[in-house]
Amino acid sequence: MGMTKKVMVLFDPEQYQKLAEHARFKGVSVGSLIRQAAEKSLAEDENVAREIRIQAARRLTEAEEAVTEWDEIERMLERGHQG
């Protein structure tokens, strides 16, 4: 897919110089370097979110809660209705 969105980002001269030097070292444009950094950041965020979901699922599946048997639940409900 071709690039269709444009963003203007302002850097101070020192930041831009460092970006330009790093881009030259890597053999890419400053724009490409910034796109790569954005992709890396998004991927890291996705990995963090995925890991959080996995940890939550583990906590749910590893929970050792006492489970009341259905017969006892029915008796509790009956007692509640009797008042």
pLDDT tens per residue, range 1-24: 688 999 999 999 999 999 999 999
Q: Which domain holds residue 34?
A: 13-82
For residue 20, being part of any structural domain is answered with yes
For the question of whether the overall pTM of this predicted structure is more than 0.75, the answer is no
For residue 2, being part of any structural domain is answered with no
For residues 35-47, average pLDDT: 91
**Domain count within the chain:** 1
- For residues 28 and 34, the answer to whether their CB atoms sit within 8 Å is no
For residue 36, being part of any structural domain is answered with yes
- For residues 12 and 18, the answer to whether their CB atoms sit within 8 Å is no
Helices then strands, counting H and E runs in the chain, come out as: 3, 0
Structure tokens at 68: 């009341």
Q: What is the pLDDT at residue 9?
A: 93
